[in-house]
A and B are shown apart, each in its own frame.
Chain A
Amino acid sequence: MHAAGHIRSNNMSHSTVALFDSLHTRHQHQINLNSFTSICYQLGKHIVRVNYSDQLHIVLGESLAHLAVDPLDAVHLEIDCLVMDEHWKMPFAQTDYQIQGLLAGYNDSDHFAAFQFGASVFSFYDRTIHRGYYVIEKVNALPFWEKGSPFRSIFHWWTETTSYQLIHAAYLDYNGTGVLLSGKGGSGKSSTTVGALLKGRKTLGDDYLLMDTADGWVYSLYQTSKLDKNALERFPQLTTIINADALAHGKKALIAANSVAPDAIQREGKASIHLLPKINHSTTSVIKHATGADALRTLAPSTIFQLPGLHELTFKKCSAICRMVPVYEILLSVNSEEIDQTIDKFVKGT
């Protein structure tokens, strides 16, 4: 474990030096002007400290709150979280913007930099000192889904030198047996998770998880779920806790697992079964054998292309995961209770 410092690394391009210095200066200025809040989180076996300016922990901290630990001096990753204002504008030109928001001239052997289009968030990471900056253009304009999974680009970059991988998947605990669910948007992954939570199951999350590709252990990252209108119609009991603003715009609603059922969120578990859900509109769910290739075709693209950079490494880590855990396809019925019973019965029989 090391103490992440403010000293920048030596191997920086001129533009990256200027960017790093301006971010550091701006963050110090905001700290001096406002109260700031440092919160340490446990990610896997590691500790991350986030220094929130401007009460940003209220806006962004909920999705990570279940991972909060007592303050520590020495951490594995440190993130400064701040807001753009008239004193700090993004120094990038339109021509700097590349695929997935990666910024030309600011990504080198020691640094990652990306602007997240849609959320208007700039993320920067210095891999030599394990320090990240997360800069929000406008707090009020921050989309609900970004509040549900903040810092994920920085987390992703940080995992490069570890055996961890952020994966786009859900995890459910069935009496001690860990079930991984991966699928594209609309596959029924989130509604399966919420349905199981309402039956008293535990989860590690249903959007992004942190998985150790060395031993198959899975760690919770965000405690929030996203459900669209159609899925919510199946769970009318959740209408009192949904994000009404999000639904008003016809998008998905953000739901914290612990608000669905008390203590529903867990911190870690071992994946023993990998399910690939598919909506089947049938009266009974069916689970059948699938292959590692089926799993990789499902897990890798949605994981690779939602996270900026490190694509080849991410593919390799996803490959390892898909070979590590037995894979099955589940054709989902329209009945969430029946789906939960089918998975439970299957888990008991394996």
Chain B
Amino acid sequence: MFRTRAAKLAIDKFPGEIIIVDLQSGAYYSLRKSACTIWECLETGATQDDLINLFDTITDSQKVELQDFLTELQQCNLLDTAPTMRLQESKVQQAFESILFEKYDDMKELILLDPIHEVDARGWPHQKQ
């Protein structure tokens, strides 16, 4: 069983897209297509079997895609635990649509200004020019 890391995440859901903002790191994310279905399943807590069984006619390559997506979510610190996928038969639910997952890092510098290494010889709070 694994689930999304709800603390410090701001999430909003639109038709076809989920926006996630990591309020700690400043990174934000866009999830589309089957990424939305998987994320919503993860929110309530999901086993590996649950995720596989979400989709009808999921191919082995799509299972790998799903596994890669979970790994990326983990690397982005959006999941609490690390899943290990097992490739197995799926049940008829819905078609798997190629996962769209985009990460944006452009806001990080705004919140992670280093108060120790980015100060001048006078020390904090004098910013290095």
Contact = CB atoms under 8 A, between A and B. Distances in A.
Interface of A: 90, 94, 97, 99-100, 115, 117-118, 120, 184, 291-293, 296-297, 300-302, 304-306, 311-312, 315-316, 319
A312 B24 CA distance: 11
B123 interface: yes
A138 B16 CA distance: 50
A117 to B, nearest CB: 6
A301 B105 CA distance: 10
Contacts of B17: 291, 293
Would you list the 6 A-B pairs with minimal beta carbon distance, nearest first?
A: A315-B10, A293-B17, A293-B14, A94-B124, A305-B110, A305-B107
Given A305-B107, A315-B12, A117 B127 contact: yes
B125 A297 contact: no
Nearest to A185: B106
A301 B113 contact: no
A297 B30 contact: yes
Contacts of A120: 125-127
A300 B23 CA distance: 11
B23 A312 contact: yes
Given A297-B30, A305-B111, 20 more contacts: A94-B116, A97-B115, A99-B112, A100-B110, A100-B111, A117-B115, A117-B127, A118-B127, A184-B106, A293-B16, A296-B14, A296-B19, A300-B28, A301-B21, A302-B107, A304-B23, A304-B107, A311-B10, A315-B12, A315-B21
B121 to A, nearest CB: 14
Interface in B74-127: 104, 106-107, 110-113, 115-116, 123-127
A94 B10 contact: no
B125 A117 contact: yes
B30 A94 contact: no
Contact of B104 (A90, A99, A297, A312): A297
Contacts of B116: 94
A216 B111 CA distance: 29
B37 to A, nearest CB: 16
Nearest to A313: B10
Interface of B: 10, 12, 14-19, 21, 23-24, 26, 28, 30, 104, 106-107, 110-113, 115-116, 123-127
Contacts of B10: 300, 304, 311-312, 315-316
B12 A296 contact: yes
Nearest to B32: A293
B28 A297 contact: yes
A261 B4 CA distance: 51
B21 A300 contact: yes
Nearest to B112: A99
Contacts of B124: 94, 97
B19 A300 contact: yes
B23 A297 contact: no
Nearest to B11: A315
B116 to A, nearest CB: 7
A27 B126 CA distance: 24
Contacts of A319: 12
Contacts of B18: 293
Given A120-B125, A301-B104, A292 B14 contact: yes
A342 B91 CA distance: 51
Contact of B28 (A94, A117, A301, A306): A301
Contacts of B110: 100, 305-306
A61 B48 CA distance: 59
A118 B120 CA distance: 12
Contacts of B115: 94, 97, 117
A276 B24 CA distance: 26
Contact of A304 (B14, B15, B21): B21
Contacts of A97: 115, 124-125
Contact of A301 (B24, B107, B123, B125): B107
13 contacts: A94-B123, A97-B115, A99-B24, A100-B110, A118-B127, A120-B125, A293-B14, A293-B17, A296-B12, A301-B26, A302-B107, A315-B12, A315-B23
